[in-house]
Structure formats: C-alpha cells, structure tokens
Amino acid sequence: MKKVTFLIAAHNEEKHIGTVLDNLKNLKKHFPGIEVIVGNDGSSDNTSKIVDKYKFVKHVHLNERKGKHAVINKIIKLAKGDIIIVHDADWIFRVNDPKDFKSMISWFDDPRVGGVAESFPIEYETGIKNDSLAYLGNLYGNFLWIEFLKKKYTKVVDGLRIVDSSKNGFPFLVYIRKILLLVMILKEVWKF
C-alpha cells in the first residue's frame, strides 16, 4: 500500500485535537506507515501541549498565525507520503473497517489519478453527524455547487465528464464517479 500522510493545520483546537489524534492513532494500528504532521498555527491555548503527547505526530510550531493555507504549504514540504490527506483539526476521519481505507487508497493505483475529493464519512467534533440536519444541509449545498460547476466547466467526452480546459486553466481531467466524488486524472506531472 502507498504511504499516506495526514496534514493538519491547527489553531486553538484544544477541545478537538486530542480526539482527532486518538482516531488517527487507532487507524495507525492497522496501517503503521501512516504519517501525521500537525502545523500549530500560533495557538494561544493548550493545543501544543496536547499534540506533544502524541509521539507518532510530527509537530511543527508556527509562532505567528499565518492561516491554514500557509501552514499546509509549510508542512507539506515535510511529508513523505505518496498520498497526502489534508485533514481539518475539528473533524474525525472515521474508518470503521480498515478495508474501506485500503479501498480508498487503492484509487491511486491508477497512475492517471492525481487527486480525489470525496464525501468520506466524517464526524465534526461540534456534534454535527452525517444524519443531522446541519450535515444534510451542507451536503445539499455541496451537491448544488458541484452541479453548477459541472454545468459551467465540464463536458462529456467518450462517456467521461471532464473539465473543459478551454474554459479554465486546470491541468487535469475530472471523472465524476458518483455524487461528491471527483477523481482528478492528470494531463501532466505536477510538482509541489
């Protein structure tokens, strides 16, 4: 299986980060090669102390708050994984059956696949569960947004829905496998 790195940008997440890392620690029992990197974005609470308790986590301290994009750009340079998962600090990447995770990672066995965005089962620490009204509202909003993007920026070629390069500068094709699952097929090699 390809090596997987989870990147987490955290700012004042003392209420959530322990639960998030406990969950990844459990996943690591099944997949010992998983790498977890937390970028602490100038937190003023106990986020750092909590993260430091997890010996399997690479902890990067940013003394000044820069924002999620800056944290991810910094810590991605440390990642050794073949597959990078950007993981929010307030949700749980719950895998009830290790076969599900292995199946998701196997999508990258196709050398044309450059990225995957999916509605993977997550639980927000704020109490929003997959069956809650807030989750369903978010899901519906995402569905409408994807439908808009499909109509505006894609076309069907040989039975596959792809991003229409004439309408944007994206260097990849998008194959819509199911609702809220996008598999990006690279046209050229990207270097980060």
102-119 pLDDT tens trace: 887 887 787 766 666 554
Residue 74, pLDDT above cutoff 60: yes
Residue 66 main-chain phi, psi, to 5 deg: -120, -20
Per-residue pLDDT at 166: 55
Where a domain ends, among 55, 88, 109? 109
Per-residue pLDDT at 34: 94
Long-range contacts from 43-47, C-beta under 8 angstroms, 24+ separation:
43/10, 43/11, 43/12, 43/13, 43/14, 44/12, 45/12, 45/13, 45/14, 46/14, 47/10, 47/11, 47/12, 47/13, 47/14, 47/17
Q: How confident is the model at residue 52 (pLDDT cuts 50, 70, 90)?
A: very high
Same domain, 148 and 80: no
Instruction: For residue 16, give the DSSP letter.
Output: T
**Helices and strands (H, E) in the chain, number of each type:** 5, 11
Same domain, 105 and 70: yes
Stretch 123-137: mean pLDDT: 52
Per-residue pLDDT at 96: 72
Question: What does the alpha-carbon distance between residue 130 and residue 75 come to, in Å, rounded to a whole number?
Answer: 29
What is the share, in percent, of the chain residues with pLDDT greater than 90?
29
Radius of gyration of the chain (CA): 18
Question: What does the alpha-carbon distance between residue 39 and residue 57 come to, in Å, rounded to a whole number?
Answer: 10
Between residues 130 and 95, the one the model is more confident about: 95
Helix (H/G/I), strand (E/B), else coil: 163: strand
Residue 60, pLDDT above cutoff 70: yes
Is 84 within 8 Å of 145 (Cβ atoms)? no
Q: How confident is the model at residue 144 (pLDDT cuts 50, 70, 90)?
A: low
Per-residue pLDDT at 43: 94
Average pLDDT, the chain: 73
Report CA-CA distances (Å) from 56 to 36, 107, 165. 7, 26, 42
Is 123 within 8 Å of 93 (Cβ atoms)? no
What is the share, in percent, of the chain residues with pLDDT greater than 70?
57
Same domain, 105 and 116: no
pTM of the entire predicted model: 0.64
Into how many domains does the chain fold? 2
Q: How confident is the model at residue 170 (pLDDT cuts 50, 70, 90)?
A: very low
Question: What does the alpha-carbon distance between residue 86 and residue 37 come to, in Å, rounded to a whole number?
Answer: 10
Same domain, 105 and 148: no
Per-residue pLDDT at 158: 59
Per-residue pLDDT at 46: 96
CATH number of the domain enclosing 20: 3.90.550.10
Is 98 within 8 Å of 129 (Cβ atoms)? no
Residue ranges making up the domain that contains 154? 112-192
Question: What does the alpha-carbon distance between residue 120 and residue 101 come to, in Å, rounded to a whole number?
Answer: 10
Nearest to 150, CA basis, from 172, 118, 182? 182
Same domain, 8 and 92: yes
Where a domain ends, among 55, 85, 109? 109
Same domain, 82 and 5: yes
Residue 172, pLDDT above cutoff 90: no
Residue 145, pLDDT above cutoff 70: no
